[in-house]
Amino acid sequence: MSNYDQLTAHYQTINHFNHAQSMLGWDAAANMPSGGNDARSQAMAELSVHIHRLSTQPQLEEWFGGAQQESLSAEQQSSLREMKRQWQQATIVPEDLVQAQSIAGSKCEHAWRSQRQENDWIGFEKNWKEVVKLSREEAKIRGEALGLSPYDAMLDKYEPGTTTASLDALFSDVKSWLPELIEKVLQKQQSQSIIMPSGTFSTANQKALGLETMKLLKFDFDHGRLDQSVHPFCGGVPSDVRITTRYDEKDFVQALMGIVHETGHARYEQGLPKAFSGLPVGEARSMGVHESQSLFFEMQIGRSKPFISHLSRLSANAFNAHKDPVFAEENLYKIYTQVEKGFIRVDADELTYPAHVIMRYEIERDLINGVIEHTDVPALWDEKMKASLGLSTKGDYKNGCMQDIHWTDGAFGYFPSYTLGAMYAAQYKATMQNTVDIDAAIQSGDLSPIFKWLSDNIWSQASLHTTDELIKRATGETLNAAHFKKHLETRYL
C-alpha cells in the first residue's frame, strides 16, 4: 500500500470510533436517564483517549512524509492536507490533557443543566473554573505550536484561517451600524399589532408539524431522525443525522424555527460527497460554513414571506385551527420578523443576534488570552448587555452568562461562527438570485433549485478547498459583510 492509502485506511478507522462517540453523545442529550451520566462520562472519556491515541500514532509522521513524495491527484492532495491538519491538531495536545478536559467538561455540563435552572453561579463557578483552566492550557499549547495567540489557536479549531485581527475588524464594522439599525426597526415596528399564540400546543402536534416542515425541506428520513433535548443540536454522522429541538406547549414558534435551523445543518451533512465518506476532506469545511447552512435555511428560506405561507397552512392543519388569526400568513410573518431586545441568544431575532455573539466573542477572547479571569465574567456580561442592548443581567446568571452550553465544556472560539454563518448565508443568496428565482421556488413548494445550488457550491465541496476559496468559488468574492447589512435593511426597513 502507498503511504497515502495507509493514511486513508487509518482515518477511516478513526472515523468509525468518532461515529460511535457521536451516537453516545446524542443519546446522552436525548435519551439517557440522569443516573447514567457518571458511567457515560467515563466511557466517553475512555473513547476520546482511544481516538486521540489513534490520531497521534508514531507511524503517521512517516506516512505523511512519504505521501508528500507520491504523485497524487488534486483531490488527493486536498485529502492529504485535511488529514495532516487533523493530525497536527491532535498531536499538539497531550493525552492526559484530553482526558482531563473530557471529564471536567462532562461534569461541568451535566451539573450546569440543573444549576442554570436554579441560577446557581456559585456552584457552577466551582466546576467551570477547572474547564477554563484546562482550556487555557490547551490554548497556550496550541498557540505555541502554531505560532498563534492562545485565542487564535482556539479559533483555528472551528474556523481554520480566521484570526482575532480579522474578527475585530469585521465586528467593529457591525457595531458601527447595528445599534442604529435596531433602533430604526424597533421604531418602525412599534405601531404594528401582532396576535401572539395562546392556549396549548401539544408536543405531539408540534412534532408532527416539525416533521411536515422537514419533508418540505427535503430532509432524508432514511438517513436521520428528529428527537428532543434541553438544547437543540444536530449530531450523528452523514449517513445517520440526529437533530433535536425543545418544545414549549405554550408556544410552537421557537421549536418550529429551531427545526428549520437544525434541518439546514442536517441537509449539509446528508449532502456531503459519498466519495470522501469517512475522511477529513469529506467533512464540513468549518463551523462558520456549517452555521451558514442552518442560517440559510432559517433566515434566508425560513423567515421569507413565501415560506411562511407554507408554515401558515401546515401549522393551521397541525393544530386544527384554520380560523385562528394567529396562523394567518401576515401574522406569522410579523411574529417571525419581530425585533425585540432580549436576554437569551437562542431566542434572539435575526437583527439583535449579532450583538449577542459579538459580546461573547469579546469575553471569551479576553478570558482565553488571560486579560480577564473567569470570575470577572458575570460583571462584564452585565456591562456589555447594557451597552449593546440596554439590558441588565446583574444577579441573573441563568439569563446571563450561564445561558449557553458552549463554555460549559470548553468550546471557546465557537461563537463567532454564528455571525460568520449569517454573513455567508446572505452572500450565497445574493449570488444565487442571479441564476435561481428563489421566491418562486419556495412558493411552488419544490425547493430543489435552491438545494441544487447549495449542493453544487457548498455541500458537494466538503473540505476540498479552504474556507476563503470555497466562498470565492461559490460567490465570486471572499466574505463581504455588505451583503448581510443589505439583507437586514431590505427585510426590516
Give phi and psi for 479, each to the nearest 5. Answer: -55, 130
Order the strands of the 240-245 sheet from edge to edge.
224-228, 240-245, 234-237
Helix ranges (DSSP H) in 31-120: 37-55, 59-67, 74-92, 95-117
pLDDT in tens, 359-388: 999 999 999 999 999 999 999 999 999 999
Q: Strand pairing of 234-237 and 224-228?
A: unpaired
Sign of CA dihedral 104, 110, 113, 115: negative
Q: Residue 216 CA to chain centroid, in angstroms?
A: 22
User: Which residues share a beta bridge with 467?
Assistant: none
| CA triple 153-286-303, angle to 5 deg | 130
pLDDT in tens, 204-221: 999 999 999 999 999 999
- Grid cell of 393 as nine digits: 443581567
For 43-65, give one letter per residue: b (16+ CB within 10 A) or e: ebbebbeebbebbbeeebeebbe
The pLDDT assigned to 104 comes to: 97
Answer yes or no: are the C-beta atoms of 300 and 317 closer than 8 Å.
no
pLDDT per residue rounded down to tens, the chain (493 residues)? 999 999 999 999 999 999 999 999 999 999 999 999 999 999 999 999 999 999 999 999 999 999 999 999 999 999 999 999 999 999 999 989 988 999 999 999 999 999 999 999 999 999 999 999 999 999 999 999 999 999 999 999 999 999 999 999 999 999 999 999 999 999 999 999 999 999 999 999 999 999 999 999 999 999 999 999 988 899 999 999 999 999 999 999 999 999 999 999 999 999 999 999 999 999 999 999 999 999 999 999 999 999 999 999 999 999 999 999 999 999 999 999 999 999 999 889 999 999 999 999 999 999 999 999 999 999 999 999 999 999 999 999 999 999 999 999 999 999 999 999 999 999 999 999 999 999 999 999 999 999 999 999 999 999 999 999 999 999 999 999 999 999 999 999 9
Q: Strand pairing of 240-245 and 234-237?
A: antiparallel
The overall pTM is greater than 0.75: yes
| CA triple 214-215-216, angle to 5 deg | 90
The pLDDT assigned to 230 comes to: 83
DSSP 3-state assignment of 236?
Answer: strand
Q: Which of 251, 262, 286 is nearest to 211 (CA)?
A: 262
Neighbours of 73 (CB within 10 A): 8
Answer yes or no: are the C-beta atoms of 24 and 43 closer than 8 Å.
yes
The pLDDT assigned to 342 comes to: 98
Q: In angstroms, what is the C-alpha Rg of the chain?
A: 22
Catalytic residues: 262
CA–CA dist 450, 457 (Å, integer): 11
